[in-house]
Amino acid sequence: MMLQRKNRLRALSLGAVAVTGALALTACGSDDNGDSNGGGKSAAPATASSVKCDDAKGQLLADGSSAQKNAIDAWVKQFSTACKVQINYKGGGSGAGVTAFTQGQVAFAGSDSPLKPEEVAASKKVCNGGQGIDLPMVGGPIALGYNVPGVDSLVLDAPTIAKIFDSKITKWNDSAIAKLNPGVKLPDLKIQAFHRSDESGTTDNFTKYLIATTPDNWKYSGGKAWQAKGGQSAPQSAGVAQQVKQTSGAIGYFELSYVKDGMKAVSLKTGASKPVAPSTESATADIAAAKVVGTGKDLSLKLDYNTKAEGAYPITLVTYEIVCDKGNKADTLPATKAFLRYIASEDGQKMLSGIDYAPVPAEINAKVRTTIEGLS
């Protein structure tokens, strides 16, 4: 039964679609409707017990983190079936999402990094009497997907990863990689390292890991924009994953749900007794140690990128749904609250582990639910 359930949820991940259309939230709203990836199998209809619609109606436009897009698509399929609300989540990247939110173009945004002080200040112009807050909703590992012919298992550590993405290690048979992979026949093949071309919270979290674990080999300050020289780039998680899939010798970083169709993922040498592979379980082990560092209703978290705990995968991210604590637009508030309530619910969070994401720890999620009920 557990295997059947997991297979059903994986089918849901592949088949879920965001409903598209000409959407507008306000008189000054955006007419950029974006795209949604669809097709495949359909999700099972949501039940009345799992979705509480209340007065939800109409249409919602949202944008942001592409790392969480597979989760959002699955949630939207369930929610829209139950509540007849159209939601278009563009998944244009965390930077695009935050910008759209602070410009009043979307009801909520997704970001893999919490709002910066200047972004909170900007949000006060669109949140009438309030401000934007971060609600942690989706956890997961940032996988290093690779395409190296003949190499089915690969272990890397932080210094080696930093040198690969900083163009200091350029061949797959480099001695540093060979030392970490005894017995593995590594080809004399050029490394093609792909990074995000757009501003990305995935980039921010990936480089925070490098800064925390190997500062001598990663001299950059970090942030949503890629700073290292060299390498190749592609937009959004799906774009990087597609480039890795089709390029021999490629490696790139993206959320685990994008590792598919024969792609492999790197295991990390963290200082634990054995290398740790990215998985829902290993990410959950790391995120469980996260601490709430936000103030007021903001629930932004601090993650431990330098963990050496057994079975804990340290390159993780938490995606926040960004919404006004007060001053949400009256025509979109009921649908926004209903959707956020559903994805933070037990049923919504349970869905995540079956599609390669990690649920938010229960203690933190309880605070998220309380905060959602107080949105106005």
Is 80 exceeded by the pLDDT of residue 6?
no
Assess whether 21 and 130 both reside in one domain: yes
Residue 297 lies in a domain: no
pLDDT of the residue at 244: 97
Locate tokens 């829209």: which residue?
Answer: 80
Strand intervals (E) in 184-327 = 192-196, 232-234, 250-255, 264-265, 267-269, 291-292, 301-302, 316-324
The residue range of the domain holding 252 is 141-285
49 confidence band (pLDDT: 50, 70, 90): low
CA atoms within 13 A on the CB side of 94: 28
Q: Are residues 87 and 166 in the same domain?
A: no
In this structure, is residue 310 part of a structural domain?
A: no
Residue 181 confidence (pLDDT) above 50? yes
pLDDT over 90 at 54, yes or no: no
| Residue 251 region by backbone torsions, left for phi larger than 0, else alpha for psi between -120 and 50, else beta | beta
Is residue 260 pLDDT above 90, yes or no?
no
What pLDDT score was predicted for residue 7?
Answer: 42
The predicted pLDDT at position 294 comes to: 96
Looking at the structure, tell me whether residues 36 and 99 fall in a common domain.
yes
15 has pLDDT over 70: no
Q: What would the pLDDT profile of 335-371 be if each residue is shown by its tens digit?
A: 999 999 999 999 999 999 999 999 999 999 999 999 9
Domain contains 296:
no
Output the domain CATH number for residue 185: 3.40.190.10
| pLDDT reported for residue 148 | 97
What are residue 246's phi and psi, to 5 degrees? Answer: -100, 0
Q: Name the pTM for this structure.
A: 0.81
Total number of domains in the chain: 2
| 133 shares its domain with 163 | no
Longest dimension (CA), the chain: 63
For the record, the structure tokens of 17 come out as: 């679609």
Q: How confident is residue 268, by pLDDT bands cut at 50, 70 and 90?
A: very high
Q: Does residue 24 surpass a pLDDT of 60? A: no
Please state which of the ranges 18-22, 116-120, 246-250, 281-285 shows the lowest mean pLDDT: 18-22
3-class secondary structure, 9 = helix
Structure tokens at 365: 């999620």
Residue 103 pLDDT greater than 50, yes or no = yes
Q: Does 165 score more than 80 pLDDT?
A: yes
**pLDDT greater than 90 at residue 39:** no
- DSSP label at 66? S
Residues 59 and 172 in one domain: no
Whether residues 14 and 101 share a domain: the answer is yes
Whether 292 is covered by a domain: the verdict is no
How far apart, in Å, are the Cα atoms of 296 and each of 64, 125, 211, 371? 23, 19, 28, 10
Q: What percent of the chain has pLDDT over 90?
A: 83
Verify that 23 and 119 share a domain, yes or no. yes
